[in-house]
Structure 1
Amino acid sequence: MNRVTSVLIITRTKDRPELLVRALDSVDQQSFSDYLHLVVNDGGNPDVLDAILAASPNDRRKVIHHPHSLGMEAATNSALRAHQARYVVVHDDDDSWQPEFLSEAVGYLDGHEKETGVVCNIQQVFEKVEEGRVTTLSSRPFNPAVAHFLRDDFFVANQFVPIAFLYRYAVHDEIGLYDERLRVCGDLDFHIRLLQRHSIGKLPGFLANYHIRVATPVPTLSNSVSDKAKHLHFAQQVIEAHDQRTLLQRMCSWWRVRLWYRAKNLLLRFCFRLNQGRASGA
């Protein structure tokens, strides 16, 4: 009987070599090594991708080439159908980890059998890309006030991004794969479906980096959230499909929770900067 790999890492990419190189290095630097890294080329230039992979050899890495783009969620599902593992994480080609992410996340789930997934704290990194060079502009904690993940909170906003989320592969047998009809926000839909039946734990460390390009002139280098109209359209589709409350109840809840999260995040960021100032002055 073949042994099942501990972690399946899925990276979806299309013609973003400047960013993909960083993602590959992020995986290669992990202190935890029992993984399979599956790169899904969703309609990008296969020769360019193969050259990048050849320059960063890793015998735990494989590639799937889509001749034409099928979309983000279809790319994820291609990887899920191709390989099984105990745990899954989506490492997009523009994000990155700290070296201990997999070690700590796997250790948490190994020790908490009742939890279906675990999320670490996230550092939001703002950057620009000029002439193939990525430059960091600023960074800040992303949604750090959240200690527990409740399904209804996702009707206000997605509480975390895929780079920070390790979960059990077996949950797909119960709730299905990602919804390929959604061009974006497939992670929001998946998180809501998962939380209908299961719980997600939280790691205290800032082990994942969520990178956002600022004012990039190259469309392929932008984030999925950059097209706000498209993102809002699909987010509303997801929420309306899952949220059975009346429109008035949704609006009242949205504003109440949104203001509460805003106040908590401002307070936590103030405390975080205050502690940084004290540490630098020590």
Structure 2
Amino acid sequence: MISIITPVYNGESFIESCIKVVIEQNCPDIEHIIVDGGSQDKTIAVVKKYAENYPHIRWISEADQGQSDAMNKGIKMAKGEILAILNVDDYYQPNVLNRVQTIFENLPKNSFLVGNCKVWDETGKVKFINRPEKLKLKELLLGWSINPHPINPAAYFYHKSLHDDIGLYDVDDHYTMDVDFLLRVVQTANLQYKDEIWGNYLDIEGTKTFSDRESGQGVKRMENLFNKYNQQLSFLEKLQVKVKGYWFKKVWSKVEYFERHPDEIPSVIIQKINVFTKPNS
């Protein structure tokens, strides 16, 4: 069984579409656990309406300590051996849950399965597709611009038993708890990546992650988190991360400069580009 956990607080704008997304997956062996933090809007009224007609929906509503606490409550309630976190404003591609269930039939215990995720802006356009192909700790610690981590839980699934090894989400962390979880998971789990689009994530103004990034605080939080896990690497691994990161940033800064100043691209580079892009006669 797949247990899908949705933490929510005052989410009446999205909760119905979130519930429908799971229903429309037409996956028979699931439960959808909705963990509400004591919403003051119509969230619970919507949840109750659907729960009366769909027995796979389970829910609680009570005060909590934030998103991490809500997810931990859902994990403890879960009956499935496979876990998924679906935030109230994110959604799956069609038939993802059946596809994931089939893959897990051939995976060993403590597996972490990752697909790709579409990232949308407020105008309904895809900003980019997150393709987290490299998942080892020392690869992720090179940073987002080199090896992006899985950006949203709508595109990954894992065995509940992983929490027995790495613990639950950090209740005191309200911003980087998902990345902290990932950096612990990749050191323990059997990692599997599929080059398939599974999740959809709304990166829009007003959301917690968007606001934190725009304020500049998000970057500092991520730096602190990565520094913490960098200390767990061997001396050689630390050196590899530092050297690779240095050279990538050096090359990338040149690329960004010439994007802004194309007239300054050396003529020898332009000649080589013309040779490679010249149509065959």
Does TM, normalized by the shorter one, top 0.5?
yes
1:233 alignment counterpart? 220
Matched, 1:159 2:152: no
Q: 2:102 aligns with which of 107, 111, 115?
A: 107
Q: 2:114 aligns with which of 103, 119, 135?
A: 119
Superposition TM-score, scaled by structure 2 size: 0.76
Q: Deviations over 1:78-128 (max 9, x none)?
A: 11122332100000001000121111112112112266111111111112x
Instruction: Using the TM superposition, give the Cα deviation of residue 243 of structure 1 relative to its aligned residue in structure 2, in angstroms.
Output: 0.9
Q: 1:17 aligns with which of 1, 12, 32?
A: 12
Matched, 1:64 2:60: yes
CA distance in 2 between partners of 1:259 and 1:95 (Å): 35
Alignment gaps of 5+ in structure 1: 1-5, 128-135, 264-282
CA distance in 2 between partners of 1:22 and 1:177 (Å): 27
Matched, 1:148 2:134: yes
CA distance in 1 between partners of 2:91 and 2:13 (Å): 13
1:179 alignment counterpart? 170
For the 8 Å contact 2:118–2:130, the answer to whether it is kept is no
Query: Quick one: structure 1 residues 118 and 261, their matched pair in 2 at CA, closer, same or farther if it must change by over 3 Å?
Result: farther
Query: Quick one: structure 1 residues 202 and 55, their matched pair in 2 at CA, closer, same or farther if it must change by over 3 Å?
Result: same
Alignment gaps of 5+ in structure 2: 256-281
Instruction: Using the TM superposition, give the Cα deviation of residue 159 of structure 1 relative to its aligned residue in structure 2, in angstroms.
Output: 1.1
Instruction: Using the TM superposition, give the Cα deviation of residue 140 of structure 1 relative to its aligned residue in structure 2, in angstroms.
Output: 4.1
Matched, 1:33 2:28: yes
Query: Secondary structure, in 3 states, of the residue corresponding to 2:42?
Result: helix
Q: 1:224 aligns with which of 209, 213, 218?
A: 209
Q: Deviations over 1:161-202 (max 9, x none)?
A: 211110000011111111112111111111111111223212
Instruction: Using the TM superposition, give the Cα deviation of residue 230 of structure 1 relative to its aligned residue in structure 2, in angstroms.
Output: 3.4
Q: 1:208 aligns with which of 199, 206, 216?
A: 199
Matched, 1:48 2:42: yes
The count of residues paired between Structure 1 and Structure 2 equals 241
> What is the RMSD computed on CA atoms of the aligned residues?
2.7
Query: Secondary structure, in 3 states, of the residue corresponding to 1:38?
Result: strand
The structure richer in strand per residue is 1
Query: Quick one: structure 1 residues 65 and 197, their matched pair in 2 at CA, closer, same or farther if it must change by over 3 Å?
Result: same
Query: Quick one: structure 1 residues 190 and 256, their matched pair in 2 at CA, closer, same or farther if it must change by over 3 Å?
Result: farther
Query: Quick one: structure 1 residues 200 and 257, their matched pair in 2 at CA, closer, same or farther if it must change by over 3 Å?
Result: farther
Matched, 1:87 2:110: no
Instruction: Using the TM superposition, give the Cα deviation of residue 233 of structure 1 relative to its aligned residue in structure 2, in angstroms.
Output: 3.4
2:263 alignment counterpart? none
Query: Quick one: structure 1 residues 168 and 103, their matched pair in 2 at CA, closer, same or farther if it must change by over 3 Å?
Result: same
Query: Secondary structure, in 3 states, of the residue corresponding to 1:205?
Result: strand
CA distance in 1 between partners of 2:249 and 2:157 (Å): 26
Superposition TM-score, scaled by structure 1 size: 0.76
Query: Quick one: structure 1 residues 226 and 152, their matched pair in 2 at CA, closer, same or farther if it must change by over 3 Å?
Result: farther
